[in-house]
Structure 1
Amino acid sequence: MRKKQSVTIYDVAREAGVSMATVSRVVNHNHNVRPDTKEKVLAVVKRLNYRPNDVARGLASKKTTTVGVIIPNVTNDYFAALARGIDDIAEMYEYNIILTNSDGNSQKEIQALNTLFSKQVDGLIFMTNQLSEMVRKELQTEHLPVVLAGSVDAEQQLPSVNIDYQKAVYAQVNQLIATGNERIAFVADDLELAINKSFRIQGYRDALAHAGIPFRKELLIEARDGNYQAGYRLRHRLVQQQATAAMVSNDELAAGVVNSLTDHGIQVPDQFEVVTSNDTKLTEITRPSLSSITQPLYDIGAVAMRMLTKLMDNEQLTTNNVLLSFGLKARQSTKSREV
């Protein structure tokens, strides 16, 4: 078989009877071209099926108009909602997205970073469960603009977009206290993650202290895999600790908890209340449906991408750490506060 010949900018210029510089201005949407010339060039571009070489353009302009996005789990509704916001704003500012999955593993994050660096991306949106020192050093080496989305940097060295997780958990645990709960478990996949250790657990402890309820370390409960099955297996431990409510760090984990309780004859919310943190679609499809902290997930992604466009254009950010508003959504897994 004959190998297909690629069409070059030279071919388009020759066919259209114009200079290569004119073709370049047309395909790069430079308005400094006469309308009739532009139409002639575009007609040739269409006829020859010419596609500009993004790599070559990047070498010439020192910009690839490409952004790398590292996501811990592409199947997780929380991160998928953030990615949608990122993609829409990237499209608005004419950036392409390269999406990579890291499985929340530091070694895979390093591999993903090296892959994106080799593609000469102009900037990075980083979503991670935990920003490791290894990853931090890798980011510092490349000197690329980086923004964290829905991920915390305990050292506050990198720009980020989040909600105030400490205040959100404080508000949600207060509601559990208001319905008569004193033995409230805090459930997370990893209690040592910065988002839990430095923010959520502090909000949990603040709410207990404000109500005069003693903090009990045994009610900090870890479910290492952080998935539905891990949540389902926690029922025995929650009952053993005589908990009457649980504040859970993610929706899949919370779905496992609530289904295990109901499957084993524990009535939710009459005998046990469950609240969760991310308000993804899982909260609405469990029975009973899950009360949750609400987050503007799409907006977190969109704002992070807008911040990155500013950094890539060498603009100054008005603030490095953006906190968007949160809410509390009551559903069937909690009692009414009048009870």
Structure 2
Amino acid sequence: MTSVEINIREAGVSVVTDLGRYGFTDQGLQVNGAADQFSAMAANILVGNGEGSPVIELTSILPFEMCTPEPVLFSITGSTGDITIDGINFTSRTPIVTWPDACIRIEPAQAGLRGYIAIHGRIEGDEYMGSCAYDSLINRGCKLADDQRLRVDGHCVQAPPHMTPCFPIRAPRELYSRHTPLGIMPGPELHEYPGFFDNISSQMRTVGAQSDHAGIRLEGTDAPRSRTSEILSRGVPVGAIEVPPAGGMIALLRGRPLTAGYPVPAVVARGWHSQLAQIRPGDTVSLIPTTPAQSICVAQRRRDELDILRKKCSTAFAASRLFSPRTTSMI
């Protein structure tokens, strides 16, 4: 096993994270982790890592640049702009092997909010309670800075035959736009909002500037509530749509607080969580009623896409002998 240090030349707003810190909510620790779990898992599969390995989560509104001192296998998924290596254009969603002293630059995206970079091996992060998920509330995690050296352990790849930089493998394409429809299902307080689903499906809401890893603010016509009583704080899932007293709505993400005391008339269904994570301030959102069966169908289709991608990558890596005898693919 070997290690390599990646030079982060332009960090933008980026962190090292994984799929989350599970099993400690009873101790007050939120799960957090990659906001767009599908893109993070796809990036890791494309480089032969386990799906939950650490990745770089970058905010695609800003540029990002890193340099590799030796050949590395990496992939980029999620929302990205143009990708170049030493000025040569490359595509996202595919395995790429760089050459020594290569400089990888990712330009800002026109739509979507988060991109993911995976590198074969294990990216060093601030591991705490079994995870390197970034958590600003407890001040744990690795937030990248310009000119930082980022270590990758267990990296040991050989350049493919003829120094071919890319494999003919692509992860499923994600189409990002400045308007996103989200499937929603009833929340525990739906009965307190008469005609909520009928009214909400005919409206578009704008994502406010006060949005972050904890949740996105949806601005628009206030939803009238039939009761004024307070709600005891309780656990809330990813995708819960809260209605705070100040008006508007908040769709909660993976960095949400453990408990909340606002009414929840609806929840973004699991099949749309990746789309929810890619919404940026200024975008518009439509909330479309869906069913558990439809949500499960969408989620299962995404799971199947990852499984198919894993099989393709495993076959290609084995045939090309990409990984040296000192290491093996984690797929």
Structure with the bigger RCO (C-alpha within 8 Å, sep 6+) is 2
Report the TM-score range of the alignment, normalised by the length of the smaller protein: 0.3 to 0.5
Structure (1/2) with the larger helix percentage: 1
Q: TM-score, normalised by structure 1?
A: 0.33
